[in-house]
Structure 1
Amino acid sequence: MNPDRPAPPADRPIEPPRSDDAPFPAAPGHDFAVRRRTLIALLVAAIVLPCVYVAAMAYSDLSTREADATDATLRTVRVAEEHALKVFDMNEALDARIVDLVQGLDDEGIRANEAEIHAKLDAIGGGYPQIASVSIFGSDGDLLTSSRFALVPPVSISQRDDFVGIRDGRVIDHVSRVMYGKVSGETVFNMGVARRDEQGAFAGIVSVALRPGYFSSFYRDLLGAASPMAMGLIRSDGAILAYYPTRASSPDTIDAKSPFGLALARGSEAGVVRIHSPVADDNLILAYRRVGSYPVYVSCGYRTSAIWAAWYRHLTVLLLSMFTPSIALWAVIWLSLRRLAAEEEAWERWQAEASMRRSIESAYRQSRKMEALGNLVGSVAHDFNNLLMIVSANVQIARRRGAAGFERELSAMERALKSGQSLTRQLLGVARKQPLRNETIHVGRWLPACRELLRASLGAKVSLVIDVNDDVWPILVDVAELELALINLAVNARDAMPNGGRFTVRARNIGFRPGEGFPLDGDFVQLSLEDTGVGMAPDVLARAFEPLYTTKPKGMGTGLGLPQVFAFCERSGGLAAIDSAIGAGTSVHLYLPRALAAPVAERPAPPRPDVVRPQHGLRVLLVEDNDEVAAGTEALLQMMGHQVTCVSDAAGALQRIDATRATGAHDEIGEIAEGSPPPFDLVISDIHMPGTMNGIDLAEAVQQMKPKLPVILVTGYAEELERARNVDVRVLSKPFDIALLERMLEEIRRDQAPGSRPRGNVERDTTL
């Protein structure tokens, strides 16, 4: 594309500094980067080294505590194993003595000597605190005699597991589960052996009932009241025989799937495992040992919560002792970094003052240049509008007078007028004095409809590609200005690709948030127009925004294309940006704001009523400072049958209106008194006029009168139209369409007819 393309504002060139504005040289000894790196390295070391030391010490301390806990459980479980072994060995010896005592006696013989055997049983087991009772049972499970009763009650254990197991030869049942003993009258577990008759047949059992509380008391005395350890006596199938400390809701068996339960199932003799114990309600380091050849194990578990609690206490002391001086060191280094940053900032401010002054001067010169160009363009456009108005009015006069033989010349003048109007529109757009008629459009449906318009602008050698999805957001723009922008870009692309190429139009949704580096925030639709042309050099790209700047040959370009594109995007609330390089083509990106409302569905225009020519003319007060424009407009109005009075400024217009109202006495039926000047039916005024009052001031003053007069304002400036929208008037833009003026006048005539209802002055032509 050619240079009528905008570059982003950040790409504006800055004039080179003058010799007396050269930057200050760096001061010796102010190597801020080296000092900053040194301080940061010290700060990192002051943080990392204590942290590494604390982590190593904490890990070592935790490992040591776990090792000490494991050693403590192993030592303690050995003591408990020796104690349990002595108890079970003694019980086995007692069972053997009792078996020898009743050897050769059958059940009836034992019952016959019940009193004597009871005394001996009481003497054998009565002196041991762990023994609750010593009993002899017959082959059918009936109680024969016991150390607890001189005369035994009728008790049978024929269905009890330990009796059935001993009878059937199961080793594990020689030590029973914990139960409530019917003979002993308390909670016990039994250790029994079988009795045999002379033929070796099963003759019953001898059972010694042991108190679990005896073992719990021993474990309490062994560990101490505040010990973090727990001890237990467990049968090889996981049944708990005794445990300390006891809990009311503790289970009575070990979980078979726990590491300890699996070790019992394997028949392991001893070991150390880590488990979560529901019995202790904690995680444990558990050491266990088998009690001799008996189906019983002793266990000792160390609570890991106690290990962690002690470790946390030690870690707290370690952290306080290590990080208290470290924090002071960090604060010193941090303050040094802050002071260094403050010194560097002051140094940079000192260094930047000269370049800042140069940048401000350059930006000021550029702003003044653009302002001067804008004012120049606006003034030229205003004067050019007046010239076009004169020509347009006289062409209309010639046509209405039926100038025969001049049809070709008049048509040529009308075509020239349209070209002049288009050029004026571009000039006013660049000068930001062209009003925008914004409406919401759907990009995905609107762009394909412009295909033929773009093809006509590109020519036959350039292929057109439109890549737009239907999910692109609607945008709020002036459709005519957008079409003009696309035509300008298409024409530039055509000139940049004399041998043909490809012109691609894409659209996508994009959002910018504060802090992302884009000059705008919010949701936008990005229209990207890309060509495969020769591209632009950096110096040309930097000036692409400037009005009247062009690199095209004389007569080929006006220098208003890309400035119009950028001014349109900026006034629409968006931005235009450009990417280009020599030989790489050019991409122009138009960022247009997303519309919050959906596009309004198009409705068929209502049929226009036939224009009814007025039966009598209106009395028009024409206010225009340009004599030639006033003469042409007056001639047109008179040809339409209206009476016209011309004044050159707003003050003169008010005087004429006041004069007609002051001297125009009316009779009772509203007729004008004889000899009084007639009142005006409406005022047609230019907005831009010399003097203290402009056309809008005049319209506001007229609106205060009773009754108020309808007003038609004529202008070529957008900023004046913005103010005119707040006044109840009709607006025409220069050069205006005579047919539109006729319709306005006809509406005013109908509104002033007797019995008519005013419809309000809402019709406006704001297309400049």
Structure 2
Amino acid sequence: MTSERFDPPEASRPPASHQDEARFPAVPEQNFHVRRITLIALLVAAIVLPCVYVAAMAFSDLRARMADATNVTLRTVRVAEEHALKVFDMNETLDSRIVDLTQGLDDTGIRAQEGEIHEKLRTMGGGYPQVAAVSIFGREGDLLATSRFYPAPELSIADRDDFTGIRDGKGLEHVSKVMTGHVVGEQVFNTGVERLAADGSFAGVVSVALRPSYFDAFYRELLGGSDTTPMIMSLVRTDGAILAHYPRRPREPQAMAPHSPLAEALAQGRRAGVVRMHSDIDDDNEILAFRRIGAYPVYALCGYRTSAIWAAWYRHLSVLILSMFTPSIVLWCVIWLSLRRLSAEEEAWERWQAEASMRRSIESAYRQSRKMEALGNLVGSVAHDFNNLLMIVSANVQIARRRGAPGLDRELSAMERALKGGQSLTRQLLGVARKQPLRNETLALERWLPACRELLRASLGAKISLVMDIGVDIWPMRVDVAELELALINIAVNARDAMPNGGRFTVRAANINFRRQDGFPLTGDFVQLSLEDTGGGMPPEVLARAFEPLFTTKPKGMGTGLGLPQVFAFCERSGGLAAIDSAIGAGTSVRLYLPRATAAPEAEPPVETGVEESGAPQGLRILLVEDNDEVAAGTEALLQMMGHQVTCVFNADIALCLFDDAHARQARTGEPLPFDLVLSDIHMPGTMNGIDLAEAVQAFDTRLPVILVTGYAEELDRARHVNVRVLSKPFDIALLEELLQAIQRELAQTGADPAAAAHPAD
């Protein structure tokens, strides 16, 4: 690595001798520091003190405005209460006079004197602007007489809430809800009392219809006669039904919200008070004062919109800020210029230090980059070599199983369990290095998840209960089943460690759709798989790093820091997302969002019930291409035990030479190719890898089947674009045996040799 020469200017070049030091005396660094701290302290004080003063004044002003608004509402609601009380007292007096007027008269008697009663009712109610009509109704709700019409029209209020309520003794219905009156044909609410017969039984109702517009007009005048007033006035029943309201809004509700602070206060029977709430009528936050109207089931309300308070406060704050900070800005500029001059005095020293620091930073960043690159390559190389070791052990265990090893079943089972653990660790390492191949398939979760119950129970331990809530009609998913199983195990193990004294682990599944307008990073249909525990939870600083590779809070030897990173990498490469919610004392919830499959899950192939052929399929002639001697030896021995003929070569170059010779011999003599199948590793020394070999074999215009084996995701993706079968390391020997048997059956069914069919003899 070459380095450029850096020559600082004369003013910044370090002194070369005592003579230079005498000519250019260096300013001690400590003086720069003290002076800078002093100026910065002055600047901070010049900023903080005005800000504190403005904040204190603004807070005090806001509290004063809130208090003033509360006082205004309390004074105004008292006026509204007194006004409404006079109106309702007058109505009560009017009702009593009408009851006295009809004393001793039944329905027939009232109808007989309807003309005289009509004139008296018209005289009684006609002088009050709030009264729309005064009416008398009979025992069955029929209209007997009214101040508006003579003769009274035929109508009945038998099904109206106020009539049935008064008849049944419900005090609330002595003041009805706002309705379109049967008699007056306009918006009114009624105040009524019952009429009693001579024997004390219910004889009917005397009703006075009041106009809400009268109260609206009074409230408008009370609030200054402007539609832009920040205050509101209302008259409501104890159940929240609105009788009158100002100012009116289009499509406003007919009742207050049932679960608002006001509704709770009215339900508690409070006669007066102040609440703060969001009003559904005005769609704004309000300071709301309320007072009950005497003994009537009615309240007067006065509210002040907090948005108007905030708007006025903002205007006052802007004036305060402008007047306070204008001189402060001048002071800040003076201090800032002093800091600039101080910086100029030490510019030479700073530039020299900056150059040295820059060089150190570049070298450090380069070393860090090389280290991370080497770490990724190291993880991939270790995983590849570890895969080969697992393949050797797995092949030899299968050989021992097939040859029969009496008395060694326990030991072989332990080795197989260790192999599964090694395969899991390899997948984790490759997941961190982003080299773990995915074998995606369509999965029906409602059929697959219950089968994992025992696996999850084993991972959780005996102290933790397992609950599964799969949901209904869960969509199929497109995932790697082995990676999904490993992710569930990793999360279950973390949950077990978070609940050492026992707890509950819940698995939930549900369908979810993310839309672009919702602002979620994913869009489309997904299956949400939630895994929740009741452990102690994670603090925010741990939660922020939960998905970091190699980060763990477990004691040494208890965790690798690869579990949750594997979960995140699996979901991300599957086209989904993983998320964690956790809080101290609230447990942890890990949610996996996995994409919905476009195709339905493949049905299980039916069991063939036909009569098997008397002769077993003939063994295959297999060309094994493997550079690792021990892997090749174990695989060759196992294939031979399966009844196949095996030719083993070291790399793809040698294998291609064999094919060239066989192809040339076939062209001369018509002799078929000597192989039925090619089983090759992908990552090998030489000029060609396994994929190159497969493409070269297919170039011979032969239908010879090829099976490739790899442990790298990038190689697996490329191999899938070639017409070959692919196995990812470490693979299950039983899977290979099943694949070979399928190829044997295909050859037996066709009755043809694919190698011989490629080029028939001339």
Class of the TM-score when normalised by the shorter of the 2 chains: 0.3 to 0.5
Q: Could you state the TM-score of these two structures normalised by the residue count of structure 1? A: 0.46
Higher Rg: 1
* Higher RCO (CA < 8 A, seq sep 6+): 1
Q: Could you state the TM-score of these two structures normalised by the residue count of structure 2? A: 0.47
